[in-house]
Amino acid sequence: MVIKVFFPSCCPEAESGLLLGRWIPEQNAAVVLAIIHYPFIPGQVKQYLEQIQSVTTVNVSVLGSWSSHSSRTKDNIDQFLQDLSSIFPHDFWFQLTQEKESRSVFKCHVVQQCDSKNDKENVILIHYDQRKVMLSKLHDVDSKSIECNHNTGEEAEAITSDFAAIFDTVAKCELLFMIDKYDETPIKFTHWQSAGRETSIIVELAKQASVPVCMVLLFLVTFVLNICKSRVLNIWPLHILWSRLTTCVQLAHRLDHLQTIASSTKAQNHTEFMRKANLFVSFLIDVGLGMLLISWLYQQNRIGQLADALIPAADHIAKELEILLEWLMGAPAGLKMNKALDEVLGHFFLYHIHLWISYIHLMSPFIEMILWYVGLSACLGLTVALSIGSDIIALLTFHIYCFYVYGARIYCLKIYGLSSLWRLFRGKKWNVLRQRVDSCSYDLDQLFIGTLLFTVLLFLLPTTALYYLVFTLLRLVVVVIQGFIHLLVDLINSLPLYALGLRLCRPYVLAAGVKFHVFQKVAGKPLHLLMQINPLTYGMIIKRYRLPTYGCYPKDSWAALCKKLFIGRLIYPWKRRNEKQD
Amino acid sequence: MRRAGAAAAAAGGRCRRWKKVLYRAQPFPDNYVDGSFLEELRKNIYVRQYRYWSVVLESSVVIQQLSSVCVFVVIWWYMDQTRLSPQQLFASGLIVYLLGYLLFDIIDLGEGRMHSGRTRWADLKSTVVFVTFTYGFSPVLKTLTESISTDTIYAMSVFMLLGHLIFFDYGANAAIVSSTLSLNMAIFASVCLASRLPSSLHAFATVTLAIQIFALWPMFQKKLKARAPGCYLTVTVVNTLAAVLGLLTASPTAAVLYALLLLTITFLCPHYLVTLQSSKDNIHGPWDEAEIKEDLSRFLG
């Protein structure tokens, strides 16, 4: 049987005393938390142990004795230790003796209380850094459980790992480590903080100031949210508008975050705390980048230049579209188009462009002022600025969207009519009840009119298909540009910056596991290992602590998208996560 | 095998007769057959005896349809050469249509009309719908194939008319017959051809002619054949002569070829059919699939 003894790395310099810690019988491991020095009163020690047990719910007890090299008194040490083991009854009594030659090699003698077999057991001494183990959080790196955690939305606190119990023990005994040598207590301890508690003034001040700030912020945010949810702003046409504008969605998202950050309940567990911290840091960085953008934009009258460039850009787009339509009305790429239909469609679209350009020109005196005020909203964050950019692009290319919808509807109707009339041509019919094609005997007039219409639709198909193709391509270009901007916004929204910063500065806090170095191997003495914390990789951190966003991901697979394009259904390739299915 | 079986039976000393069952242990091998092998085989029991002249007479159905197609194409060609004006065509078509309508009812003395329950009012409505629809769509039809080359149009028309002839319901009970498809193909071909004519009135006249020739004429002919076969034969001959003469005015070679085709179908094919009957070799026996010949509805419910 192999017994593992976890020994704090600050304790080899300590004076002799009693080992205080927890025995974990399932793993045959003893975790030493502190050393109680002589002199002590056993009654007080027992009382103190009971207090600690009731507060921390950890089964702390006296595990054994520690005799350091410097303060050894040879005489009747064995009898003294024998008496001690009877005062503090324990299954296994560990006697650690430090060697004279090397301070970090000790002999370990185990005395078993229950059955005095006293056979030679193998003992491994593992040195661990108490502060790091107390602050770190062990993560379950099993990828399956991470996925199912994401799906269910709750984090399983019960991590099945051998070392989880040890990390847990040390973390829960924080109260034990509060007593340092400057406190007036009857019992003298040695642990990692016994030289003096460490704290920071800034952190204390921030903690004090955060409470009123949070309350004010929470009040403001709830007020704004109530206004937004009021019925006035949510009547039917406006509701569609708010849900389509990316800016509004992004602002709502950020307000949600602020509400989470400023909530008055403390974070219950590690995951909630990390989430709040990630949101906070991400929000700060976002606002910082937004401020940078503002400072860059408002220098040297760049806003004015932007406004001046906007109208000519819209004009240029319109002119290009007109040239394209003239080309389509001729014989594009040598294709044979039906003249009459061509003319009709071409003039229809040209009139639309004319309307749109007139509207833009009407708005041109106000553009600069509007841009100036809208640019100010970038102080709410870079993501908001990018969303506004995406919305401006959508507004400028609104006519392309309209053309796409017209072309798609006409094409879709035509395809639907053609497929139905083709079935009539062969003498068959679609059976809606059985969802299959059946034969059907039509009347003479149905046959005749159906065939005539089929001929007409068939010969007009190339013209319509060409218009549809051209406008779909244009629309796809705009969608790709918008998708790219959304991707950027999503990236900023979801990156867990606090966790990444933690991994950079304090890698031991997010632990994936432990690794061991062989410390000392001397024949005849127990094996000494040094335990070091293995931090999570950056990839795992991002996967685990990703902030949930309203994310944009492709709704259809490639095959489904191609099929929809072929039939003429309208495509909305990016779906938001909480949008209703259409 | 017979000898081996007999020898085995004689040698075994058991004179049991071989029975065609496998559930009894017999002294014969499993694949043994005795003298009654294949005695239930019958050959050619359903072979029909054709008489030559009856077949020739029946082939008039195919001839009739071929001639209709030919007449249609010839009339279209006349309009294309502006030898015929659309107003003349429409007027003559109208007269023929009214005549046929009256004859249709007189021939079976009104029984068919009572059977199908179709009133004259419904007929009038159908006619009005046809005419208005065609008239309204004729400008669209005229410009439909402007940008497609003439050769493509001709090829498509030929293909469609061939299809019409193949899928037509000549009275045979075959799976390939689909009267809907054949009618639709004919109308498609007529629209293709009509779009090549000079004006939309031409297109209107062509499409109306197509309806009369491909939809109404076969109905009339079927009824005539059922009621007055002699009259039917005369009408077929007149039709064929009209087709050949029309082709003659268009192109003599075509007329000669067409006449040859007609003669082949009328005289050569029936002869071939009759002579080939003697080389039929159908075998029937108890191994054939069962056919349900009776109407089972009297056993149900």
B contacts of A445 (beta carbons < 8 Å) = 126, 129-130
pLDDT single digits (tens) A326-338: 888 877 766 777 7
**Most A CBs within 10 Å, among B140, B166, B193, B214, to test the A interface:** B140
Core vs surface per residue B231-265: b (16+ CB within 10 A) or e: ebeebbeebbeebbebbbeeeeebbeebeeebeeb
- Residue from the list B129, B144, B211 with its beta carbon closest to the beta carbon of A456: B144
Distance, in Å, from the CA atom of A207 to the CA atom of A200, rounded to the nearest integer, reads 11
Half-sphere exposure of A56 (CA within 13 A, CB side): 23
| CA distances to A50, A349, B240, B256, B262 from B266, in Å | 119, 61, 12, 15, 6
Query: Which residues from A are below 8 Å from B179, CB to CB?
Result: 427
How many other CB atoms are there within 10 angstroms of residue A182's CB atom?
9
Residue A230 has a pLDDT of: 78
Pick the residue of B187, B196, B216 with the most A CBs within 10 A to test the interface with A by mutation: B187
Q: Which residues of B touch A329 (CB under 8 A)?
A: none
For position B68, what pLDDT does the model report? 94
The reported pLDDT for the residue numbered B195 is: 87
Closest CB to B129 among A426, A445, A455: A445
Question: Is B181 in contact with A427 (Cβ distance < 8 A)?
Answer: yes
The predicted model gives A487-501 an average pLDDT of 87
Dist. CA A472–CA A407, nearest whole Å: 8
Half-sphere exposure of B196 (CA within 13 A, CB side): 21
Q: What is the mean pLDDT of chain A?
A: 79
Q: Please give the pLDDT value at position B204.
A: 93
Q: What CA–CA distances, in Å, run from A102 to A95, A129, A521?
A: 17, 19, 12
DSSP state of B29: -
Read off the pLDDT of each residue in A110-126 and give the average, rounded to a whole number.
64
| pLDDT at res. A77 | 60
Query: Nearest 5 degrees, angle CA B77-CA B78-CA B80?
Result: 60
A421 — pLDDT class (breaks 50, 70, 90): very high
Q: In a mutagenesis test of the A interface, which of B124, B143, B144, B151 is the best target, namely the one with the most A β-carbons within 10 Å?
A: B144
Q: Select from B145, B179, B187 the Cβ nearest to the Cβ of A459.
A: B145
Looking at residue A348, its amino acid is F
Residues of B in contact with A429 (CB under 8 A): none
pLDDT tens digit at each of 301 positions of chain B:
455 444 544 444 456 788 888 788 888 887 888 888 888 888 888 888 889 999 998 899 999 999 999 999 999 999 999 888 899 999 999 999 999 988 888 887 777 777 777 788 888 888 898 899 999 988 888 888 887 888 989 999 999 999 999 999 888 888 888 888 999 999 999 999 998 888 889 999 999 999 999 999 998 998 888 888 888 999 999 999 999 999 999 899 999 999 999 999 999 999 999 999 888 888 888 888 888 877 777 777 6
Q: Residues 134-193, chain B: which have Cβ within 8 Å of A?
A: 134, 137, 140-141, 143-148, 178-181, 183-184, 187-188, 191-192
Q: Which secondary-structure segment (H or E) carries B166? A: helix B150-167
CA A456 vs CA A28, A487, B128, B140: distances in Å: 87, 45, 21, 8
Q: Is it the case that residue A521 has pLDDT exceeding 80?
A: no
Which of the pair, A187 or B271, is modelled with greater confidence? B271
DSSP state of A12: G
Reading the block at residue A155, the tokens are: 């984090």
Angle of helix A270-297 relative to helix A382-396, nearest 10 degrees, comes to 60
pLDDT(A117) > 60: no
The confidence score (pLDDT) of residue A21 equals 82
Q: Å from B126 to nearest chain A CA?
A: 7
Contact at CB, B134 and A338, closer than 8 angstroms: no
Flag if A445 and B126 touch (Cβ within 8 Å). yes
B129·A426 Cβ contact <8 A: no
Chain A residues with CB under 8 Å of B134 CB are 452
pLDDT per position as a tens digit, A78-89: 566 666 767 776
Q: What is the mean pLDDT of residues A308-322?
A: 86
CB contact burial A559-571 (16+ within 10 A = b; e otherwise): eeeeebbeebbeb
Per the DSSP assignment, residues forming a β-bridge with A123 are: A3
- β-strands A17-24, A61-67 pairing: antiparallel
Residue A251, both tokens:
């602002």
Of B129, B133, B143, the CB nearest to A340: B143
> Of A16, A430, A442, nearest to B179 (Cα)?
A442
Q: Which of A127-136, A418-427, B116-125 has the highest mean pLDDT?
A: A418-427
Distance CA(B200)–CA(B141), nearest Å, equals 8
Considering only the beta carbons, identify the residue of B137, B178, B215 that sits closest to A444: B215
Residue B67's pLDDT is what?
A: 95
For A230-276, write each residue's pLDDT tens digit: 777 777 777 777 777 878 888 888 888 888 887 767 767 788 888 88
A to B CB pairs, distance under 8 Å: 71
User: Least CB-CB distance to A455: which of B126, B148, B188?
Assistant: B188
- Residue A121 class from Cβ within 10 Å (0-12 exposed, 13-18 middle, 19+ buried)? middle
Per-residue pLDDT at A317 exceeds 90: no
- Give the least confident one: A22-31, A138-147, A511-520, B5-14: B5-14
Nearest chain B CA: its distance from A327 CA (Å): 17
Is A155 a residue whose pLDDT tops 50? no
Contact A452 B192 (CB under 8 A): no
| Nearest Cβ partner for B178 among A427, A444, A450 | A427
Is A424 part of the contact surface with chain B (CB cutoff 8 Å)?
Answer: yes
Q: Which residue has the tokens 């319901």?
A: B169
Q: Which of A442, A449, A455 sits opposite B191 (nearest CB)?
A: A455
Average pLDDT over residues A149-154: 43
From the CA atom positions of chain A, what is the Rg in Å?
Answer: 37
Looking at chain A, the whole-number percentage of residues with pLDDT higher than 90 is: 4
Q: Is there a contact between B208 and B90 (Cβ–Cβ < 8 Å)?
A: yes
Best of A337, A339, A451 to disrupt the B interface (most B CBs within 10 Å) is A451
Residues of B in contact with A446 (CB under 8 A): none
Answer yes or no: are the C-beta atoms of A155 and A139 closer than 8 Å.
no
- The phi, psi pair for A530, rounded to 5°, reads -110, 125
For residue A450, the chain B residues in CB contact (below 8 A) are 184
From residue A240, give the alpha-carbon distance in Å to each of A7, A453, B227: 64, 38, 71
The residue of A336, A422, A440, A452 whose CB has the most chain B CBs within 10 angstroms, and thus the best one to mutate to test that interface, is: A452
Higher pLDDT, B15 or A482: A482
> With 50 as the cut, is the pLDDT of residue A581 above it?
no
